[in-house]
Structure 1
Amino acid sequence: MTKDVNPARTAGGGEDGRGTPVGRRVVLGMLAAGAAGVAAAPFLQSAYDDTLGAAAQKDPTGLSGLLPGGGFRYYSVTGSVPEKTARTYRLTIDGLVRHRTSYRLADLRQLPQTRLVRDVQCVTGWRVPGTPFEGVRLAALLDAAGVRPEAKAVRFTCFDGAYSESLTLEQARRDDVLVALRMQDKPLSHAHGGPVRLYAAPMYFYKSAKWLSGITVTDHVQPGYWENRGYDIDAWVGRSNGRDDAPTT
């Protein structure tokens, strides 16, 4: 899947060898792009955005969010993602469950909603403080599907066609893990992974898969997109990246 390029408080990997470091060329390229953006006249903005987008594609950590126009930035590991509307969106729950289920966006909106306000933490150490997310507790959807006794984990897939993530079943049942429909008290935009994304509050943000389309209950943890590229499978903020000074939820 993809991830928001920005300070976020949610999934692992760091500078202790367990994460994927930002390459020197990427950093220098982003700094150069930032300097060009500050100095350029408005008519050069389009070219600057193209440069920034290219840098972001090579930067899985979110460092490009520090450039002019920072905050949350659009990011996708596929380059482009089709948009889903309330009419076309579906979320499927399958695998080791008794009842395979498909939810429309309207169905999810009718279920009990939980609102969390936490810092969003990027693995680089930057964060966006006090960010509200609202949605359905993942545990409630799993209970409704009827998880089988042999189940041990949950795998998440996304309609970008590339991104995936996983949690242990114990992690997935936490009260602070949501199938989120809203962020910052507004419906999730496409750029932020809407209309529905995962939100794993106590983990670095790459665990919070955008453009969520599938929840599959499995008998083992299957490493996600960034875990297959060197990031930690367990992504607890302040623990999994090896930084003792990292903020905690």
Structure 2
Amino acid sequence: MKKILKNKYDIQQMRLSGKITADVLTMIKNHIYPDISTQDINNICHHYITKIKKAVPACLGYKSFPKSICISINDIVCHGIPDKNILLKKGDIVNIDVAVIKNNYYTDASKMFFVGKVNTKKKLLCKITRKSLYQALKCIKPGIKINNIGKKIQKYVESQKLHVVKEYCGHGIGNNFHEPPHILHYYNKYDCLKMQAGMIFTVEPMVNTRSQYVECMKDGWTVKTRDGGCSAQYEHTVLVNQKGCELLTHQKNEKIPKIFINN
């Protein structure tokens, strides 16, 4: 039985793992430019995780996933597989999803990157998706029903005339990549579990421009919008503490606090 509440040692180890995950996303920014292949980006991240940080890329080999990170461009919602034949182009928006294992503890985070000059509509999609995550962080604290996370995200995203993907959700994380509880990014009145100090889980809303509908490609991994619209995602691994929450994957120069006091 996977434990939902983490002890002090677990939390200490996950802070180490989370810092590595965050550092990968900070490092890779300088390698996002036109004509680089997604395989080259994967290789840079793999080297950084394994050789510089002495950690393990959690995606590599997970349920036979063939690469060390996921890279999802424009209409790809999630789980894009790096490929030497896929090159970034000016105007692309790119999600890089990184998960690492350090001392047998997992953490997971993702963010969007712009390739050269990006149009206003794509920029706005990314801004709204990031803000939906940030707003949800403000409701995380002990005693609050976990469905408030999805309620906050869905309300804000739909107020901006965009669409939350419902097929994929956040998840508990620790000694395993995916643990209880599920973290929905839309409101479910039956999801009445209350948050407790010591819970660690990911919040990772995926937001589409045209509709919520997605489909999985023949490779069994790559998920695209069904209508060709663009998609964006931001993700953090979050610890519930006594007064709010702590972002274990908080990144350098991120314009939010690492610790939220949610009175």
TM-score computed with the length of structure 2 as normaliser: 0.22
Say which structure, 1 or 2, has more relative contact order (CA 8 Å, 6+ apart).
1
